[in-house]
Amino acid sequence: MANDSAIHDRLSRVEEIIEQLDADDCDLEEGTRLHDEGQELLAEVREILDEGSGDVVEIE
Calculate the CA dihedral of residues 18, 6, 50, 35 and round it to 10 degrees: 20
How is the chain split into domains, by residue range?
A: 1-40
Q: Does residue 1 or residue 11 have the better pLDDT?
A: 11
* Per-residue pLDDT tens over the stretch 7-31: 999 999 999 999 999 998 889 999 9
Q: What is the CB neighbour count within 10 angstroms for residue 17?
A: 19
What is the pTM for the complete model shown?
A: 0.78
Contacts of 38 (CB under 8 A, 6+ apart): 13, 14, 17, 18
Using a 10 angstrom Cβ sphere, with 0-12 exposed, 13-18 middle and 19 or more buried, the burial of residue 12 is exposed
Contact 32, 59 (CB under 8 A): no
| Whether the predicted pLDDT of 40 surpasses 80 | yes
> 53: pLDDT confidence band, cut at 50, 70 and 90?
low
